[in-house]
Structure 1
């Protein structure tokens, strides 16, 4: 049995309305540390894509698969999933658990099988624009975001495709639960997250099933890549350098 401590390539995937640009500050800190990280813009979140409103979870999964295949020449990678990126990343873990060395959930967690992110989204809604911050702040904490960060968020946000919001996440391979996981707890502290998982809360049900999970508290709002980019980069770098036991 051997222990491999080589740092893995890291794939960064932001949540709703966001593209690769959302990781700019985190990427700068990771690069300074010598980490190889690849931020991803998922299908449907590229403002230049004229058909973005029709993109699906399956399209997003396929894009992540392509990045993973090219990232490290077939070697397992670390996947960082922020917020609503949990849908496509959960599907990637289900379909290719052997290709993920560790998953880092940033104020997020694994999706519950069969659930859609927003199942009540009307069928005739093509895309969901970023709501007013007063509305958004009632749903997810904006703590720590400067006026500049909020302005950048507003100016660069791309509407979320309706099909991605409506599509259920169908999971079948429980090997996904064996992939080592790090939960970065920002707007909800780890103690509360553990309690919700133990109580069987639908949003945390899969967390209770994870076989190898660590909780890391990073107290801030729901977008730590802007409010605490250096600290988030340190957590991600540590996850990339974590040892893997090979038989």
Structure 2
């Protein structure tokens, strides 16, 4: 039995994984959706980048999990990748779902033009406001799904975006799968492309938008299970 710890990206809580978690459990695995500090039902809790790393590690330790697949979507690849280094032999694999990947000393905002995000955080008392409906357009989401995300999404704690990652080694050292969602760009970021050249990483392409837990939950669950079992091939597309 594989234990999947599922961490959604900015603005989202553990609720974002409801359909994926149900698919994983129906297949006989354990799914543990995690809400990070400062988000959803934990919105009142202060959080920085290191807080989110501790959240992930603490969940693994609290549940006494072994044979763990850590799954990080979008922003959450940053804390998940750091937590993966810290849980040692409890880890089976890391899966980055159209996600940012941690590099020592670099923040979530380091790798892309982000002055507008920093200005927004400063103007909103240290929080990044949730996006509007237009930001979810063209990503294979229904109007109902977008409305649900807007209704349940919360502002994201800004310090988690600006504080640098802390790694002793490299994310490339750990067995990892990168799921590239093709409606959000047809290629991984250059830094991720370099990691994919190493023997520990594999690429899986998914022909959907940036939020596949909503648009393709059954297919995403299948890819997660196959990645955990080592069945996916390098650069193998999934359609």
Q: TM bucket by the smaller chain?
A: 0.7 to 0.9
- CA shift at 1:228, angstroms? 0.5
User: 8 Å contact 1:185–1:218 — kept in the other structure?
Assistant: yes
Query: Relative to 1, partners in 2 of residues 1:225 and 1:39: Cα closer, same or farther, differing over 3 Å?
Result: same
What secondary structure, in the 3-state scheme, does the structure 2 residue paired with 1:117 have? Answer: coil
The aligned runs of 1:1-247 (5 Å cut-off) are 7-50=1-44, 52=45, 54-71=46-63, 73-118=64-109, 120=115, 121-122=118-119, 124=122, 125-134=125-134, 136-137=135-136, 142-174=138-170, 176-187=171-182, 192-193=187-188, 201-202=190-191, 204=192, 207-208=195-196, 210-242=198-230
**Structure with bigger RCO (C-alpha 8 Å, 6+ apart):** 1
Q: TM-score, normalization: structure 1?
A: 0.80
Q: TM-score, normalization: structure 2?
A: 0.83
User: 8 Å contact 2:172–2:201 — kept in the other structure?
Assistant: no
Structure 1: 5+ residue stretches without partners:
1-6
Task: Give the length in aligned residue pairs.
Answer: 222
Structure 2: 5+ residue stretches without partners:
232-239
User: 8 Å contact 2:81–2:94 — kept in the other structure?
Assistant: no
Q: Which runs of 4+ in 1 moved over 4 A?
A: 188-191
What secondary structure, in the 3-state scheme, does the structure 2 residue paired with 1:144 have? Answer: coil
User: 8 Å contact 1:113–1:170 — kept in the other structure?
Assistant: yes
Distance in 2 (CA, whole Å) between partners of 1:151 and 1:39 is 21
